[in-house]
Amino acid sequence: MNKEVVQSFQEASSSYGMREAIAEAKRCLRCKTPQCRTGCPIENDIPQWIHELSMGNLGNAMRIINGRSNLPAVCGRVCAHERQCEGHCILGKKEQALHIGKLERFIADFDSQMGLIREAVAPKTRGKVAVIGSGPSGLTAAGDLARMGFMVEIFEMEPVAGGVLMFGIPEYRLPKDVVRREIRRIEELGVVVRCNTTIGKDYTLDDLFDLGFDAIFIGTGTGKPRTLDIPGVELQEVRQAIYLLRLVSLFQAGNVQRQEVPLTQGQRVFVIGCGNTAMDAARTALRMGAASVQVIYHRTMNEMSALRAEYNDALAEGVRFHWQSNIVEICGQDGHVRSLVIEHAGQRREEQADAVIMAVGQMPASRIVSTTRGLEVDGRGYLLTREKPYGMTTRKGVFAGGDVVNHTATVVHAMQNAKKVVEGIAQYVDAIKLLETITGEH
């Protein structure tokens, strides 16, 4: 692949123009039992909006998408379409499946440029909900609750909202302007976003109830990286992928200097792990000027959790993959990485290396749980929730959703879960308000 392309952080995939989008939408078979919808975790009414698009009714198409999703421009770019909507499209059995993701992206982008629709803001009469975290789960919960007539405030510890959308997934896959646009639309529903506010430090959950919130939604994700217990992990150039991606994102936003990003020109970089985080770290390392990037994965190619499309792009950009291989030691000199010992099929070999990026999974941080009585977690720190009201934790009025409950998943699965929890919150708040009215409490 052209080196200039690999070094660019500009969006890598192309968008449709109007003519192409309508032509593509016209390929839809309008199946009686649309499998694409079944394949979408949030049951986006795909055939309906594709039909509207095929007739040139973009406003109607956007209205239908909005009925299920607060993040269409994001989902259109980063969802696992090959496993979800497009993977279920009947057209795919004989020819190319309909490019549903690209069509969703086209409509959402067109809407933000042209202001196709303006949603009416629902009067906030049903109660007050605090949402902790502004990733896909928190944004979905906030948007849906605001539409249902709840007053919603989001508390986010980072200086800007978006969670992994802002600080994890790199610019070349998901431009930050797109994320900001989606968040602005959620704010237009009346949602207040308070950044630089860490719950568990600046406020406890009890403080939030004292401030008058009727319920709390915890959507804090899995921000704590896992590590490997191998000799040499303490060396200076061994970094966690999520911290590195965050720094690159801050650098691109002009908030940190280039030298603060611990990847230098010409390095031989090794990435451990083969999920989406590993692919993003590998491709980002190339864009930051790495001389070579090699991914080491202990399982086979078919077992990697990265999307096939992400893997293909990484491969095309020059990333090399070593399957069924383990790094058993990172060797250093004066505190710096010098080489690695890699084991494959019982054989060990040593390779020169300058930097190692760990992308071996994440888990929830314990900041909120350790400062709140009555919140129970499983053995790995994930919050325990119940079926009725859906999503309530072991603490009354405190709900949780997204990755902090479901283990690290995907954007759309975090959204799916948050949508269900919103129903639980609405039932709970409506019930306590009714009780207050009956018993005369305020």
Ligand X SMILES: Cc1cc2nc3c(=O)[nH]c(=O)nc-3n(C[C@H](O)[C@H](O)[C@H](O)COP(=O)(O)OP(=O)(O)OC[C@H]3O[C@@H](n4cnc5c(N)ncnc54)[C@H](O)[C@@H]3O)c2cc1C
List, in order, residues 6 or more apart from 391 with CB less than 8 Å away.
217, 385, 399, 400, 401, 405, 417, 420, 421, 424, 425
The residue from 34, 72, 221, 389 that contacts ligand X (CB under 6 A) is: 221
Q: How far is the CB of 331 from ligand X (least distance, A)?
A: 28
The residue from 50, 71, 100, 169 that contacts ligand X (CB under 6 A) is: 169
Please, which residue, 332 or 401, has the CB nearer to ligand X? 401
The residue from 263, 357, 414, 429 that contacts ligand X (CB under 6 A) is: 414
Site map for ligand X, 222-241, x if CB under 6 A?
-x------------------
Please, which residue, 198 or 264, has the CB nearer to ligand X? 198
Q: Does 72 bind ligand X (CB under 6 A)?
A: no
Residues 339-368 binding ligand X (CB under 6 A) are 365, 367-368
Please, which residue, 69 or 277, has the CB nearer to ligand X? 277
Residues 172-191 binding ligand X (CB under 6 A) are none
Q: Does 432 bind ligand X (CB under 6 A)?
A: no
Q: Does 199 bind ligand X (CB under 6 A)?
A: yes
For residue 81, what are its two tokens? 């379409």
List, in order, residues 6 or more apart from 243 with CB less than 8 Å away.
225
Q: How far is the CB of 132 from ligand X (least distance, A)?
A: 5
Q: Does 245 bind ligand X (CB under 6 A)?
A: yes
List, in order, residues 6 or more apart from 368 with CB less than 8 Å away.
132, 199, 200, 205, 218, 220, 375
Q: How far is CA 257 from CA 121, 276, 314, 340, 357, in A?
A: 41, 26, 26, 29, 20
Q: Select from 53-61, 206-214, 252-260, 404-412 the region that touches ligand X (CB under 6 A).
A: 404-412
The residue from 155, 172, 217, 382 that contacts ligand X (CB under 6 A) is: 155
Q: How many CB atoms lie within 10 A of CB 20?
A: 15
The residue from 25, 61, 78, 274 that contacts ligand X (CB under 6 A) is: 78
Residues 268-297 binding ligand X (CB under 6 A) are 276-277, 280
Question: d(Cα 234, Cα 337) in Å, to the nearest integer?
Answer: 10
Please, which residue, 58 or 245, has the CB nearer to ligand X? 245
CB 216 within 8 A of CB 208: yes
Name all contacts of 261-268 with Cβ < 8 Å and 24+ positions apart. Answer: 261/288, 262/237, 262/355, 263/288, 263/289, 263/290, 263/355, 264/289, 264/354, 265/289, 266/290, 266/291, 266/354, 267/237, 267/291, 267/354, 267/355, 268/292, 268/294, 268/351, 268/352, 268/353, 268/354, 268/355
Q: How far is the CB of 129 from ligand X (least distance, A)?
A: 15
Q: How many CB atoms lie within 10 A of CB 14?
A: 8
Q: Does 61 bind ligand X (CB under 6 A)?
A: no
User: Which residues are near ligand X by CB under 6 A?
Assistant: 78-79, 132-138, 155-158, 163-164, 168-169, 198-200, 219-221, 223, 242, 245, 276-277, 280, 365, 367-368, 402-404, 408-412, 414
